[in-house]
Structure 1
Amino acid sequence: MEKTAVLLVNLGTPDAPDAPSVRKYLAEFLSDPRVIDLPRWKWLPILHGVILRVRPKKSARLYQAIWSEHGSPLLYYSRKQQAALETRFRRDGVRISLAMTYGNPSIAGELSKLHAWGVRKLIILPLFPQYSSTTTASVWDSVRRAMSPWRDVPELIFIRDYPDHPLLIDALEARIRQCFSEHGTPDTLVVSYHGIPVRYARSGDDYPSRCMKTTEALIRRFPGLDVISGYQSRFGNEPWLTPATADILKSLPRAGKTRVCVIAPGFTSDCLETLHELKMDYAGLFRASGGETFHYIPAPNDSSLFIDCLENMIRNHLPVHQPKAR
């Protein structure tokens, strides 16, 4: 078989939880027109003149609160996913690489290594279950830019998304049931996704409908349970998708629902948005609004069921006669 590789891609993380590292990371992230699509003449002075002077120090403190002995949680769990897949595909000769859209390891750097290795079939697997122009399309842009000088372009397979893949839903269901087993069935399960501006959705980004596919699949697994879907992590002043997860959590105690569990199916690895925004900030918000118990349900991370999901998607693009490595 010709040399085959898989490039897993997650969003990214600063190299360290300090202001200089966060500033470098945010400069790359917030300069991407897929993330902030304002005219460059209008946006870049705001970014470099205001945001990158103020936000890095504040964000660094948040990263410090979630940083572990292994470093960045997002990079740590992404590496664990990579290692698990390497074990499963070792006998197949398929190379598993990992890159970040922003920060390190970079998409360009990892693709350069695969090019030097002689890759002839390349599967790009963004670790975002629900497509969005702000995440998945940015991966596409980076891959295209990195490969544009190559004369020997490999066969390229780009996995757009997998919002209701049965094995993904199995992994999420297992996380939810474990939480219920440990803490009891809540009054409400809140399903939270990272938000995007309403304008992006109106101009063609089908992210809201992709999120709804995941939520609907979870509802089918938990008939009779009150499940509410919302959006978090708003940035800037323009309208974002609603309902906001924060507003949902503030309203639930007024409706007599004081016990909640929260899951964020858009994040396949725990990160700042899950471990700080949801688990810390939103838990405090819920309790301050009259809520009694709040439990954050971890991301799939390196759970065997989620690795099954990734393996299945990869094997769907490999020759049928290949032995399945376990």
Structure 2
Amino acid sequence: MSDKASLAVLLCNLGTPEEPTPAGVRQFLKPFLSDPRVVEVPRPIWMLILHAFILPFRPKPVAEGYKGIWKEYGGSPLRKITQSQVEKLQQQMSENSVLVDYAFTYGTPGLVEQITHYRDKAERVLILPLYPQYSCSTTAAIYDQIGKYNLGQRDVADVYVIKDYYRQSLYRKALAESVDAFWQKHGRGDHLLMSYHGVPQAYADKGDPYYQQCLDTSTNLAADLALAEGEHTVSFQSRLGKAPWLQPYTDVTVRELAAKGVKTLDVICPSFSVDCLETLEEITEENGEYFTEAGGKTLRLIPCLNDSASHIDMMAAIIAPFVDVQATGQK
């Protein structure tokens, strides 16, 4: 009888720098922006742009953003919250033969590193990408790394991947409850903005389902909150470069809403499962400033699901079908 666990679960997210310095950010951005899944520009052209214009200059201002949020959290909020998710999910799965840990597509601990480690400790490995909506620029990069790893293995690793979960009932419930809880504590704002991480428009044009999945997520959330059509807006943030990305853009939208008379704007970011630079700094600080400069009064970030009980329950429900019940002695 094998002494291995029946299943190892890896919560997988994009990653975070090791330190909030230009050198730390540069070390993180280099593999991230070198991935063809992230930037689909011909390699020779993109490598020239990356090494001549982006890596020499972008890390410094980005590091300043990281410094602010790291100071507040006592380290990387993405890493700290992810570690808490792992601890709480492991506790919830304690009666099953399941190991829980995390991995990053870029950064430490790396996905391949963790697969290599846990395939010796468990019969199977389940990757749960913490991206509710699938995109070729995020989840597909995970599939790529697994494929490249197994390509070099005579005995391939038994790895499963959750492609998306935006339709999962407990995800919908957790998302709606997070908004309700925020409103109960702080009062309801004048308008709800649902801001998603953007991707180039060309990706959607070529078949990436991400845009439609974001729209479906927003439709579901609006229905679950019983919002009227004019009470919410969808937008896309974090664009890079001059090529068109999914629209409307968040930075443009917050200004437009302020100009229309919205004074208190609540923002939720349903494509992010953990608060990070893009929510804590880009939304709260940058877009908060754009909003007030355009005539708004207060922009309020509704926290991501993070390590909330409803989020952990959702993860456990997604994992449940993969758990080997025979290993627990259950029938």
Band of TM-score, shorter chain: over 0.9
CA contact (8 A) 1:82 1:96 kept: yes
Q: CA deviation at 1:256?
A: 2.2
Do residues 259 (structure 1) and 237 (structure 2) align?
no
Name the counterpart of 1:50. 53
CA contact (8 A) 1:120 1:153 kept: no
Name the counterpart of 2:36. 33
CA distance, structure 2, for counterparts of residue 108 and residue 49 of structure 1: 29
| Residue 160 to residue 59, structure 1, CA distance change in 2 (3 Å) | same
Structure 2 gaps of 5+ residues are none
CA distance, structure 2, for counterparts of residue 173 and residue 322 of structure 1: 35
Q: CA deviation at 1:212?
A: 1.2
CA contact (8 A) 2:115 2:125 kept: no
Deviations 1:37-56 (A, max 9, x none): 11111100110111110011
1:65 to 55, 65, 68: 68
CA distance, structure 2, for counterparts of residue 127 and residue 261 of structure 1: 23
CA distance, structure 1, for counterparts of residue 9 and residue 329 of structure 2: 16
Do residues 280 (structure 1) and 280 (structure 2) align?
no
Q: SS of the counterpart of 1:8?
A: strand
TM-score w.r.t. the length of structure 1 is: 0.95
Q: CA deviation at 1:67?
A: 0.4
CA contact (8 A) 1:8 1:97 kept: yes
- Identity value in percent: 37
Name the counterpart of 2:83. 79
CA distance, structure 1, for counterparts of residue 246 and residue 213 of structure 2: 13
Q: CA deviation at 1:320?
A: 5.3
Q: CA deviation at 1:321?
A: 5.9
Name the counterpart of 1:157. 160
CA distance, structure 2, for counterparts of residue 324 and residue 201 of structure 1: 46
CA distance, structure 2, for counterparts of residue 147 and residue 90 of structure 1: 29
| Residue 188 to residue 93, structure 1, CA distance change in 2 (3 Å) | same
Matches within 5 A, 1:101-112: 101-112=105-116
CA distance, structure 2, for counterparts of residue 224 and residue 116 of structure 1: 49
Q: CA deviation at 1:300?
A: 0.5
CA distance, structure 2, for counterparts of residue 242 and residue 289 of structure 1: 20
Deviations 1:58-92 (A, max 9, x none): 11111001104541101111111111111112221
Q: CA deviation at 1:156?
A: 2.8
Do residues 187 (structure 1) and 175 (structure 2) align?
no
Q: CA deviation at 1:147?
A: 2.7
Q: CA deviation at 1:154?
A: 4.0
CA contact (8 A) 2:96 2:323 kept: no
Q: SS of the counterpart of 2:95?
A: helix
1:248 to 244, 248, 253: 253
2:223 to 202, 211, 220: 220
Matches within 5 A, 1:166-205: 166-205=169-208
Root mean square deviation, CA, Å: 1.8
CA contact (8 A) 1:278 1:296 kept: yes
Q: What is the identity, as a one-letter code, of the residue corresponding to 1:195?
A: G
Q: CA deviation at 1:132?
A: 0.4
CA distance, structure 2, for counterparts of residue 8 and residue 167 of structure 1: 17
Structure 1 gaps of 5+ residues are none
Deviations 1:141-185 (A, max 9, x none): 112222322233243321100112221122222221122123322
Answer with 204-213 or 253-262: which moved more. 253-262
CA distance, structure 2, for counterparts of residue 73 and residue 28 of structure 1: 21
